[in-house]
């Protein structure tokens, strides 16, 4: 009989295969003491092992940059920086001198203290760093203990499997690139963890943050996972297996069918024009967006320039990244979101405070306005890149008009400082991702040129549900009646103010979600390139007027199923020729 696990979808895609638990670590470090005469030698051994580990990390960084990408390679800069941490280096040396411990024991004790410090906080960034610390521990102790080098991944079975990890470290994640791995399940981690970033780059479906329930999965047990929703089926029934297999068999033929739609104008059956743009995490994603026919970039996240970095990105480095994307979409344009740091995304070069509620703390526009030099650098680079295409600026986490006014002052200042100032100011928009912003659109809209609905954070803040908490996954529903009403009020308010509004949250990647938004009147969506073909097929196959009719019976909906149900039935009746879509709609 099948049973289910719930985690956090960290890398999209569905996978089916036998489970295989990967156990790895240095089990224990032998306890012994040293004589005072051996202290200097042990400190020298520790420094030698630390230097060797740094060399290995820099080698891995270079290989990762070449094989996967420079953004992924920068992840290992964080580990190299940890090995230079005065608390780690000085603390280890003190244990050797004062407690007469050998290098391996002193290092392990100090690292254990640091791990405990991180583990005692609920801060996502701190918890994600545990995997980096484990990587460092394994590398340094292996050297100090004289253990033979080898990979726990060298004996994976032929034919592919679903790998289970208590904690997946970046070094292990990088090593999966040339293995027959169908999917990943981890007990710990978040969507923003370094390992999850690598899994997405390798296109390996991944669900993280499952918790201790992952221990209940037996080796070789068949597993189906969905890396987009975070749903996992263990010991699936024959019916569930057949559903997955039919979907898998149809993928190749359907892929060809969807590729034919890529460059068709996106119109509903009754002629309503819809614009499908791309969400990009880094410049190299632009090629994939062009392949699926994206009409520009509705959300270009800029955090790749700062996360995992130990130095502030220069203006020129940012300019080159923004220019690359602007030149890729000269006709449709690019919407660049300013640094959305804080919450679960912290650059190493900033001394960010530990906060009880980081998602409600110093983040996004608050950080940028408090650090004007960092913000000025980014805005100046964006204005320079606009000379090569059409660039718009999007501000995250706005709750007051003063934040917009202060940004405009900086934007005007950097524009005027250029040798060739732009002829027109760059369009400036804001994310609508807090109830405060949504309820004051009439006050904010006069100060901006466009709006972008961020359904992910708005769902989190409106429902008081942490979107990274696997235990609350069933409560995190962007089609909750309260949110559905909010979306309706926003599109109405934007119309009254005469301002363009689009959607860039994950709801636009859900077939039911996108038709619900179409029914409300939304016509501009930005989504990850892999989701484009399916969503375009949905839009081409539905009628906006029909969807308006479906809306009429939803005024008194009091739970998400009351909203999802009618739109789902409409899709099933309207698009019966799309079996893979219907299989996805039928999945839990």
Tell me the catalytic residues: 194, 504
Question: Residues 6 or more apart from 150 whose CB is under 8 A from it?
Answer: none
Q: How far is the CA of 496 from the CAs of 444, 490, 501, 555, in angstroms?
A: 13, 10, 12, 21
CB half-sphere exposure, 346, CA atoms < 13 A: 21
Instruction: Label residue 23 exposed, middle or buried (CB < 10 Å: 0-12, 13-18, 19+).
Output: exposed
- The two three-digit tokens of residue 21, written as one number: 């638990």
Give Rg (Cα) of the chain.
Answer: 25
User: Alpha helices, DSSP H only, in 332-426?
Assistant: 365-370, 372-385, 401-417
Q: What is the DSSP string of 282-318?
A: SGGGHHHHHHTT--SEEEEE-GGGTBT-SSPPPHHHH
Q: How far is the CA of 86 from the CAs of 114, 136, 348, in angstroms?
A: 12, 15, 15
Classify 365 as helix, strand or coil: helix
Our CA dihedral for 363, 369, 375, 380, rounded to 10 degrees, sits at 140
Q: 193: how many CB neighbours lie within 10 A of its CB?
A: 32
Element (DSSP H or E) covering residue 327: helix 315-328
Measured CA to CA, the distance from residue 68 to residue 75 in angstroms comes to: 12
């Amino acid at each position: 009989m099948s049973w289910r696990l719930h985690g956090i979808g960290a890398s999209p895609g569905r996978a089916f295969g036998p489970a295989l638990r990967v156990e790895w670590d240095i089990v224990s470090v032998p306890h012994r003491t040293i004589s005072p005469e051996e202290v200097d030698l042990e400190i020298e051994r520790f420094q030698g092992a630390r230097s060797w580990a740094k060399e290995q990390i820099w080698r891995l960084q270079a290989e990762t940059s070449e094989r996967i990408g420079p953004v992924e390679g920068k992840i290992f800069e964080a580990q190299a920086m940890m090995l230079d941490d005065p608390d780690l280096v000085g603390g280890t040396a003190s244990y050797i001198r004062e407690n007469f411990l050998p290098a391996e024991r002193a290092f392990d004790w100090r690292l254990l203290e640091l791990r405990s410090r991180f583990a005692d906080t609920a801060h996502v960034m701190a918890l994600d760093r545990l995997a980096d610390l484990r990587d460092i521990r394994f590398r340094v102790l292996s050297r100090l203990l004289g253990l033979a080098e080898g990979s726990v991944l060298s004996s994976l079975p032929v034919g592919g499997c679903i790998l289970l990890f208590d904690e997946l470290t970046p070094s292990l994640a990088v090593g999966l690139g040339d293995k027959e791995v169908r999917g990943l399940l981890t007990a710990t981690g978040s969507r923003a963890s370094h390992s999850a970033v690598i899994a997405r780059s390798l296109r390996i479906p991944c669900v993280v943050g499952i918790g201790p329930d992952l221990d209940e999965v037996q080796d070789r047990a068949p597993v189906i996972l969905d890396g987009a929703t975070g749903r996992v089926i263990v010991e699936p029934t024959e019916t569930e297996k057949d559903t997955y297999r039919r979907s898998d068999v149809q993928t190749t033929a359907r892929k060809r069918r969807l590729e034919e739609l890529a460059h068709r104008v996106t119109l509903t059956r009754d002629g309503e024009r819809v614009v499908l743009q791309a969400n990009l995490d880094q410049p190299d994603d632009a090629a994939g967006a062009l392949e699926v026919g994206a009409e520009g970039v509705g959300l270009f996240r800029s955090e790749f320039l700062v996360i995992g970095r130990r130095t502030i990105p220069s203006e020129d480095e940012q300019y080159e990244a923004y220019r690359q994307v602007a030149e890729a979409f000269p006709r449709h344009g690019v919407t660049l979101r300013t640094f959305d740091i804080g919450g679960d995304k912290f650059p190493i070069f900033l001394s960010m405070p530990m906060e009880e509620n980081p998602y409600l703390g110093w983040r996004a526009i608050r950080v940028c306005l408090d650090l004007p030099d960092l913000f000025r650098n980014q805005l100046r680079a964006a204005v320079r890149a606009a000379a090569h295409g059409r660039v718009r600026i999007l501000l995250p986490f706005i709750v007051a008009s003063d934040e917009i006014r202060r940004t405009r002052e900086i934007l005007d200042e950097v524009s005027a400082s250029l040798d060739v100032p732009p002829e027109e100011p760059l369009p400036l928009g804001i994310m609508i991702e807090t109830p405060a912003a949504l309820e004051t659109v009439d006050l904010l809209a006069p100060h901006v040129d466009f709006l972008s609905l961020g359904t992910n954070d708005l769902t989190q803040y409106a429902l008081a549900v942490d979107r990274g908490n696997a235990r609350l996954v069933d409560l995190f529903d962007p089609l909750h009646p309260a949110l559905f009403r909010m979306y309706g009020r926003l599109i109405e308010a934007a119309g009254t103010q005469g301002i363009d509004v689009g959607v860039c949250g994950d709801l636009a990647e859900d077939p039911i979600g996108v038709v619900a938004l179409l029914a409300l009147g939304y016509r501009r969506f930005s989504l990850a390139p892999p989701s484009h073909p399916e969503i375009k097929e949905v839009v081409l196959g539905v009628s906006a007027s029909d969807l308006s009719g479906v809306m009429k019976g939803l005024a008194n909906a009091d739970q998400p199923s009351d909203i999802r149900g009618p739109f789902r039935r409409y899709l099933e009746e309207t698009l019966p020729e799309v079996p893979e879509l219907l299989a996805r709609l039928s999945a839990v």
